Structure 1
Amino acid sequence: MSKFNFRPAFWLGAAALVAFSCKQKPAETNDEHSTAASLADLKVHEGLEVTLFASEPMFTNPTNIAIDARGRVWVCEAYNYRNQYNIKNPAKAEGDRIMILEDTDGDGKADKSKVFYQGTDVNSALGISLLGNKVIVSCSPNVFVFTDDNGDDVPDKKEIFFQGIQGLQHDHGMHTFVFGPDGRLYFNFGNEGKSLLNAAGDTVVDVHGHKVVTNGKPFREGMVMRCDVDGSHVEVLGNNFRNNFEVSVDPYGTLWQSDNDDDGNKGTRINYVMEYGNFGYRDEMTGASWNTRRTNLEKEIPLRHWHLNDPGVVPNILQTGSGSPAGITVYEGDLLPEIFRGQMIHAEPGHNVVRAYPVENDGAGYKATIVNILEGQKDQWFRPIDVAVAPDGSLFVADWYDPGVGGHQVGDLDRGRIYRVAPVKTNYTVAKTDVSSTEGAVAALLNPNPAVRFLGWTALAAAGEKAEPALQTLWKESNPRHRAQALWLLSKLPNAETYIDQALTDGDANLRIAGVRVIRSLQKDVLPVALKLQNDASPQVRREVALAIRGNKTAAAADVWTTLAQQYDGKDRWYLEALGIGADGNWDAYFTTWKKKVGAAWNTPANRDIVWRSRSKYALPLLAELIKGSNDQEMLRYYRAFDFHTDASKQTVLAQLVQQSQGDKLVLALKHMDASKLKMTPAITTALNKVLDAKKGKLEFVELVTLFNLKDRAKDLLQLAVQYPDSTVGKESARTLMLKWNKTDLVMNVINKGTKEEAQAMIKGLWPLMNNQNVVALMEGVMMDSAKNIELRKLAVKTFGGQWGAEDRLLVLAKENKIPEALNTAVAGVFQTAWRGQLREEAAKYIKLPGSKEGTALPAVSVLVDKHGDAAKGQEVFKTLCMQCHKVKSEGVNFGPELSEIGDKLSKEAMYAAILFPDQGISFGFEGYNIKLKDGSSAFGRIVSETEDKVEMQYMSNPQTVLKENIASRTKLETSLMPSNLQSSMSEDELVNLVEYLTTLKKDERVSKN
């Protein structure tokens, strides 16, 4: 679950949106959110209908569901979701529940519910899987296995399956376990998972000898894994996701999932999980964030988000823009229309929709489109969080039902719905599952419901050779998905080779792929298969061969890889990445074999890609050759490839490029060196100084000074930090000075002895560094220094906002009664605009809000939000105090932002914060400036427009034109132009009435009145 957690802008009318207030309470009498109203609002795909299966008060806040062989729906509740951040949401002391919902009278609605388990150890569980008499519940930091020995729906045993997963009560932790067609379990965790420990508390080591820890050695961030049903033989299948909420596996063994971007960057995606792939959320080598500067940066943020220009990143089959992707499944039934069969079905709460992604082949990979199944039209509380397929093939949708989604908050505790989607007038009937015969077990194996399939698979596996005739019949069917299900079980029989050989020569490429995967799962020698399929007509089959030879150090494997590489067409990124994954760990041997084969033809468009993707030391001189003959864009691509090489010869190759290059090629050659491993020669020193002289004042200057650790240039960086505090140049200069070189003395000298403007600039430059304790201590010193200018001290206070560690330190100072009275309002502004509700509530005990005109301190914002005022009286307050700066419709002054639709843009909480603490955030375009003129006078206000020769300014209703030739200096103010003591002109009631009026200013009202 992902939340659009925008921080509010604090001059009323800012275009930013804010998340719902965590104090919002459901209105039980409001028909808008009744089950009937929300059901009627849903739009379903043609030919289907949606019905309500269950709702509150039977359960609330579902996070994940599963359906058992009897058609009962199991629900993970999350009443206690993130209570530490939601002060007004009372915790359920006895803990959250795992519920079982049942329709006993066949009318399609649950009429019976029971609690399978309740406890604080399953608070906000994010995954549930039903495997016969065992129930796997994922609830970071643990994964539990509950065993119900006697079938009475009461667990007889609770055991730790895995533990040590980080992200307690975090949406980016452990998710659902899925039983695969090979008899293994598939699962994933998001980027807060961090590590995996077994039941004994030992760090899990995967089958390839790697600790399952996200420290970059070799894994990063979110992972996809599989293991045996007893938890042994863990294997990491993909890494470097952000929040891959669930994984799903089809009958061929292909893995599908979604992944959520850093909220607000329109980069959510759908992935085919190419085994052992890196999926690009962080820099593969350094772990740097996607928004960190790098060579050959992607132009569009949604692509940049996944490092898609980097060699070694698996592409996405679909990028879906913004959203909050959640539960996913592969539909194996035939009840729903043809377009959904065999396809991913996905819950997307951020966009209030359930949709499918019909997949097509795309070279060695896939591409997809979007088809909606179920969507909310007007009711934005429809939050489909998970999907599950019932034994009859109908689709069940869990609806979190909330004004927001995830983001560590919850706006509604008392609601939750489960819907059923099926063809019109299709009754919900579930046939009894009987796996006592092989025929019954085969029927169960082909059921669209995972719990039934598990029973069928287990029974057939236990029957061994007795099941062969029935499975053989299934193997001869025409449906390739059914045949694949049979293949996995036939491969476990003594004469498995017969069926595997048939699969490897089958006319269906997916069955050939499944055959390769079967060989690998049985840990058989893959080389004979690789030799047989290395020239297969299907690039997807050849992709699978490339993955299969990964780790094989034989000369024969290098020959196979070379044969595969020679079939690369220069366009298919999927194929190129499969080659890269296959060569991992054996790059030198594979690359030299290939290079010997292609000879002088290595410099073709397709082969240049292979050089770019290679991690062999023998590719480095070839990269240098490509750079010499490349255009500007190609040059960036090849220089970036150097970042993924670790062999010491890289420095020698780059040093040669330095001596042979000019202009940007020279700059890039220097930037890609590792100064700690480089022997500085006179030639390199001369080239470096030449570039520094040419680039002084630019970002390249800062980067090279930092890279080569040129501390004698510290004063140059200091000057840039002060001169350009709002730019990347200034911020990176400050970062190097403080975090890399610890030049606190230089920085404090500017703050203590520089001009007011210089000191302010220095503090602004340090603001992004407030996650560092030393910087926090420095800002605390400025804030507490009574000898310093009060505006400078207030600016230091503002830097504490946003970084949790800094906010926590400010809270400690408040508790110890160390906040100077003159800074109370500024400190209150930091706390009352903080994201964490618990922090806001705690701080309100120690820091009082500004006083009203009655002379008494106002209550906390959380208290004000719960008050209801008189909108008509509030309009009169607005006319008296606000209209001289703001317009509503056609009335007022166009100085501050227009407020005609403010009720659609800001919550009550954000409105109070904007009025009480205007300095905490200033809307873009409404910053204040102080312009000093050469004759000693000044102009003050916001800049309305600017041309080559003049600046148009405005302060309230007074315009002023300033000729640029008369300007001596220009300073952007760190305080808002909105009065910081506006509340002192109102009583508490008048303030409440004003905000009540502002909430009525919405787009719909404006349209209706016009």
Structure 2
Amino acid sequence: MLRPFTALALLAGLTVSLYAAKPDRPEKPAKKEKEFVAAKPAFTPDPAVPAFDPNQVTPEHLDTSMFKVPEGMEISVWATSPMLFNPANMDVDAEGRVWVAEGINYRRHSGRSREGDAIRVLEDTDGDGKADKSHVFVREKELECPLGVAVFDNVIVVSNAPNIIVYTDVNRDLKFDPAVDKREVLLDGFEQPQHDHSLHAVYAGPDGRWYFSNGNCGAQFSDKSGNTFRIGSGYLNNSYTGEKSDDGHVYVGGFTASLDPSGHNVRILGYNYRNSFEGVRNSFGDMYLNDNDDPPACRVSHLIEGGSFGFFSPDGKRQWRADKRPGQTIAVAEWRQDDPGSIPAGDVYGGGAPTGMTFYENGALGDKWKGLLLSCETGRNVVFGYLPKPDGAGMKLERFDFCTSNTTGVFKGSDFVGGKDNMSDERHTLFRPSDVCVGMDGAIYISDWFDKRTGGHMDTDETCSGTIYRIVPKGTNPKVTKVNYDTIEGQIAALKSPANNVRHTGFVKLKEQGDKALPAVTALLDDANPYIAARAVWLLAQMGEKGNLKVRTWLESDDANKRLVALRALRAAGGDLMHLFNTLAADDSAAVRSEIAVAMRDVPFAQSEHILVELAKRSDGQDRSYLEAWGIGCTGKEAEVWAALHKLSNGVAPEEWTNAFAQVTWRLHPAAAVEAVKTRALSSKLSAPQRKLALDTLAFTQDASAAQAMLAVAKDKESPIHGDAMWWLINRSTNDWSSYNIAGELKAQGIFDPEATKLVTIETPPAMPSLVKLDEVLALKGDAKNGSSLVVRCVMCHQINHQGVEFGPSLQGWGLSQPTDIIAQAILEPSKDIAHGFEGMEIVTKDGIKIHGMVLTDGDVLIVRSMGGQTQFVPKSRIASRKKMDRSLMLSASQLGLSAQDIADIVAYMRQTE
């Protein structure tokens, strides 16, 4: 354990910084405040949309007997319509009240609530575990399905694109009165009102800052410090896509940001998402988020500060499909998990539509559930649970169903199941959990949107029914302990609260108390609950010299998590920490070292060289989270860092590089490494995976020398990576290497002449009507052993049991998560439900050659893969016509000669094959 601190080191540099050695820039003048004149609707209401009248509908909710919750827990209805309608998001306040952002005016129903949507307040006044009071805090025409509400004492923050709106309830009567109360647009510029991929809820972090996420609709906004952020993507082709923000970085896609509650000092903490609906930052400082699928690759992830999840190309112009490599699964391709600069995607679970999240640290559920991450999944009728565990520099996320109405594994009314006409027709599939939070009583609260459909910007429930469910240990009714924000004791109680945003108010008020609150906050360091103790650390770091010194004692702890929390808290407090980073660069903990790495992102090479080199020495080449955190720290100085590391290698031949150094080179991919990397790619002494890593390193090097090196590799047609080299050359010729005349070089060097290449006809036979019916298969008992022999008929199109061709979707482990009838139906009639990303294309050339297959790369030369894995390069100039096929490229059970018993046997085998 390396902790060489002295009293002198402890006293040095008592103020610290999130961006340590970056000099403080003078604050830019704040923009002139916009005057709010009058609320106006985001959309012009369609008079054809009937007005919503709660007295004319009969609302619905699911009976609690339909739900499965953990053993020892029970679920009850806390509130239901007409006390609330279409709950899009919720939060709780210090009195235990639940605040709800309603979405009656969702999308095509804009104007259904003629006076706009509402922020509603619900309360259990008699403490019987059920709400008995409900009223509207604010209703405005401008509010059109706001996707977020957060409550910080008497400050209510509403996320309603294009604005983050802050209401201050001055007289604390829980009703917004413009004559008395205050209303401010804190930030604006978030694209697309009434869009699920836009602005989401605000929530507090343990550092006293506010956090929020935005989907990939884009945003161009300025904070109160005058810094402008331009974050666009190829989703809506924003005009500013690929432009630098004022902090000097390029951000694309969806993102997570934090800011001071005053609206100053915005920081982008993660980006390149599809549409993260909500995130959390727990009291240890760990950040988590969920994200939509496109197609099925939804994820719940641990966020590394400054990290990209890779949904778009780095310039934001290309969606992931354009760069999907042969053999990659959708989960790997969608989040660019094979690309340097993309952080680990975490739990990629498939299709769905994730929404709200929360993190349980203390409360009524007991110690067993401390550290519980919850994520709502409307498409699968479930609230997922995770108990994250440290895994190197990252977190291991093992998913389980915490609360669900649907244990069948058959889902309906969601994009990943089928088209827009796919609707739920069974009640157990109507549970659409929109949000989850921990109440002041320590119970879990879940809001249900309740609908036959989720996703596709649709809602079909004309009753606008909504319900809030409450989960507590069986036989208990935990009570709300109200806090008094006017006393230090009450403020401490708030900081210890189970409710996240209540803790924030306690943090702010205790910080304002200064030295008077120091003894009470210090006492929390010994709390038996490590999350509560951690909350004190974040606060003490911002309470002057005395508090700062108490935080630094945690840096001496044998507990790596304590050291990590202390380091994060000191960074958040502001100032110069370089002496500390130099010391901790040799820490035993990969998580601690990763925190130092990301702190180096904006530190010039002259000041960060020693630290980055020390951190690189401790990379094992296996921990992807560590490698990516280190790579983030190297941003803008990749060439200098690689040169320093290469110098230390003392002239080791490229073929003798360690795996760790090869990985570091791949992550940095500097032009200076091209010749050495080319040597590795061409070397028959290295394994195919080692050579492929070298090839990928070249592919991400933005330099003409890398293109020439790739051409040299492609010349060897017997090489195991020849096909990969050809794919990269054709792909890169249309984007990053478009100025290097790749096509001309391929022809000039005799590698590939697109006009002269020989093409052959490959047609998939039309599907035969199935001679076997689904009911026949389901009536039979399958023999898995016989199925393992029969499944070889599938390997000419699929990979299964680690064998087969990469053409159709990989079936490796697919059957474990699918019900019997779904597997059988896919074999019987593959055209009935074609997997996303595997739609066929029919291409006819000018000389009559017909090719059925999947287009892997679309440019001047199309790469087309057909049945059996045969790949052809088709010049666009030779194509007479191309059209999307209306049937699958897979053969049906009848065409494969499978009987009903054969299919039952294959199903049995796939249901038990990982």
Q: TM-score when scaled to structure 1?
A: 0.65
Aligned to 2:377: 348
1:972 equivalent in structure 2: none
Give 1:361's aligned residue. 390
Amino acid at match of 2:128: D
* SS of aligned partner of 1:176: strand
3-state secondary structure, aligned to 2:646: helix
Please give the per-residue CA displacement for 1:48-76, whole angstroms capped at 9, x wherever unaligned: 11111111112211110111111111111
Structure 1 equivalent of residue 467 of structure 2 = 417
Q: Which amino acid aligns with 2:116?
A: G
445, 450, 453: which is aligned to 1:396?
Answer: 445
Say which of 312, 328, 335 aligns to 1:282: 312
Conserved? CA contact 2:279–2:289, under 8 Å = yes
2:579 corresponds to which of 528, 542, 545: 528
For residue 234 of structure 1, the aligned residue among 266, 280, 285 is 266
One-letter amino acid of the structure 2 residue matched with residue 486 of structure 1:
A
Separation in structure 1 between the aligned mates of residue 370 and residue 241 of structure 2, nearest angstrom: 36
Tell me the equivalent position of 1:864: none
Specify the alignment match of 2:869 in structure 1: none
Letter in 2 for 1:639: L
Structure 2 counterpart of 1:462? 512
Confirm or deny that 1:442 pairs with 2:492. Answer: yes
**By how many angstroms is 1:331 displaced?**
0.8
Describe the SS at the equivalent of 2:251: coil
Q: 2:119 aligns with which of 86, 95, 98?
A: 98
- The structure whose residues are more often helix, as a share, is 1
Instruction: Please give the secondary structure, in 2, of the residue aligned with 1:51.
Output: strand
**Cα 1:698–1:142 shift into 2, 3 Å:** farther
Letter in 1 for 2:115: E
Kindly state the Cα deviation for residue 384 of structure 1 after the two structures are TM-superposed. Answer: 1.0
Alpha-carbon distance in structure 2 between the residues aligned to 1:690 and 1:926: 30
Counterparts of 1:441-590 in structure 2 under 5 Å? 441-495=491-545, 496-555=547-606, 557-590=608-641
Picking from 318, 329, 353, the partner of 2:347 is 318
Query: Per the alignment, do residues 165 and 683 of structure 1 end up closer, same or farther by CA in structure 2, a change over 3 Å counting?
Result: closer
CA distance in 1, matches of 2:80, 2:391: 42
Q: Secondary structure at the match of 2:604?
A: coil
Contact 2:256 2:270 in 1 (8 A): yes
- 26 and 361 in structure 1: CA distance in 2 versus 1, 3 angstrom threshold: farther
The equivalent residue for 1:808 is none
Matches within 5 A, 1:660-671: 665=722, 667=726, 670-671=729-730
The count of residues paired between Structure 1 and Structure 2 equals 708
Letter in 2 for 1:146: Y
| 1:113-512 aligned within 5 A | 113-155=134-176, 156-198=181-223, 203-204=228-229, 214-215=241-242, 217=244, 218-263=250-295, 265=296, 267-285=297-315, 287-295=317-325, 297-377=326-406, 379-414=428-463, 415-495=465-545, 496-512=547-563
Which has more radius of gyration? 1
Deviation at 1:172, TM superposition (A): 1.2
What are the Cα deviations for residues 234-283 of structure 1, in whole angstroms up to 9, with x where unaligned? 111111111111010111222111111114x2x11111110011111122
Tell me the SS of whatever aligns to 1:63: strand
> CA offsets, 1:166-225, max 9 Å, x none?
13211111111111111111111111234334589984479xxxx996536411111011
Structure 1 residues 290 and 554 mapped into 2: Cα distance closer, same or farther (>3 Å)? Answer: closer
Q: Secondary structure at the match of 1:472?
A: helix
Write out per-residue CA displacement over residues 911-932 of structure 1, whole angstroms, 9 at most, x where no aligned residue. Answer: xxxxxxxxxx9565999xxxxx
Comparing 471-480 with 251-260, greater Cα deviation is found at 471-480
Q: Does 1:78 align with 2:110?
A: no
Residue 598 of structure 1 corresponds to 649
Deviations for 1:541-596, whole angstroms, at most 9, x for unmatched residues? 11112112222224452122122111111211111111211111111221111111
Q: Could you tell me which residue of structure 2 aligns to residue 719 of structure 1?
A: 845
Q: Is the 8 A contact 1:205 1:234 kept in 2?
A: no
- Any stretches of 5+ residues in structure 1 without a counterpart? 1-21, 700-716, 738-745, 751-760, 769-920, 928-941, 948-1010
Q: Distance in 1 between matches of 2:590 and 2:515?
A: 35
Q: For the structure 1 residues 466 and 648, does the alpha-carbon distance in structure 2 shift closer, same or farther, using more than 3 Å as the test?
A: farther
Partner Cα separation in structure 1 for residue 744 and residue 122 of structure 2: 77
Equivalent AA in structure 2 for residue 405 of structure 1: T
Say if 2:680 is the partner of 1:626. yes
Q: Within 5 Å, which residues of 2 pair with 1:3-152?
A: 34-35=60-61, 38-83=63-108, 91-152=112-173
Structure 1 pair 684–34 and aligned structure 2 pair: CA distance change class (3 A): closer
- From 654, 666, 688, the equivalent of 1:612 is 666
- CA–CA distance in structure 2, aligned partners of residues 44 and 922 of structure 1: 42
Determine the C-alpha separation between the residues in 1 that align with 2:262 and 2:374. Answer: 28
- Structure 2 contact 671–705 (Cα < 8 Å) conserved: yes
1:793-844 per-residue CA deviation (whole Å, 9 max, x = no partner) reads: xxxxxxxxxxxxxxxxxxxxxxxxxxxxxxxxxxxxxxxxxxxxxxxxxxxx
Whether contact under 8 Å (2:101, 2:148) holds in the other structure is yes
Kept in 2: contact 1:340–1:356 (CA 8 A): no
User: Map of 1:967-982 to 2, 5 A cutoff?
Assistant: none
Decide whether aligned partners of structure 1 residues 493 and 575 sit closer, same or farther in structure 2, where only a CA change above 3 A counts.
Answer: same
Percent identical: 31
Report if the CA contact (8 A) 2:258-2:269 is conserved: yes
**In structure 1, what residue type is equivalent to 2:133?**
K
Residue 230 of structure 1 aligns with an amino acid whose one-letter code is S
2:394 and 2:388 map into 1 onto residues whose CA distance is 10
CA apart distance, 1:657: 5.1
Letter in 2 for 1:408: H
What amino acid is the match of 1:678?
Answer: Y
Deviation (angstroms), 1:137:
0.4
The one-letter amino acid of 2:185's match is: I
Matches within 5 A, 1:943-982: 945=895
CA distance in structure 1 between the aligned counterparts of 2:860 and 2:707, rounded to whole angstroms: 28
Structure 1 pair 724/465, CA: closer, same or farther in 2 (3 Å)? Answer: farther
* Residues 641/72 of structure 1: CA separation in 2 closer, same or farther (3 Å cut): same
| 1:735-762 Cα deviation digits (max 9, x unpaired) | 989xxxxxxxx999x9xxxxxxxxxx95
Q: d(CA) in 1 for partners of 2:609 and 2:348?
A: 35
Give the Cα–Cα distance (whole angstroms) in 1 for the partners of residues 634 and 493 of structure 2. 41
Within-5 A mapping of 1:880-895: none
CA distance in 2, matches of 1:659, 1:303: 28
> TM-score w.r.t. structure 2 length?
0.71
CA change 1:34–1:272 in 2 (3 A) is: same
Distance (whole Å) between structure 1 residues aligned to residue 893 and residue 73 of structure 2? 56
- Output the CA distance in 1 between the equivalents of 2:150 and 2:847: 54
The answer to which of 500-509 and 562-571 deviates more is 500-509
CA distance in 2, matches of 1:476, 1:537: 24
Cα drift, residue 691 of structure 1: 5.1
Residue 664 of structure 2 aligns to a residue whose secondary structure is helix
Change (3 A) 1:641 1:335: same
Q: Secondary structure at the match of 1:645?
A: coil
Conserved? CA contact 2:760–2:851, under 8 Å: no
- In structure 2, the CA distance between the partners of 1:685 and 1:382, relative to structure 1 (3 Å rule), is closer
Taking a change above 3 Å as real, the CA distance of residues 553 and 198 of structure 1, as seen in their structure-2 partners, is closer
In the alignment, is the contact (CA less than 8 A) between 1:583 and 1:590 conserved in 2? yes
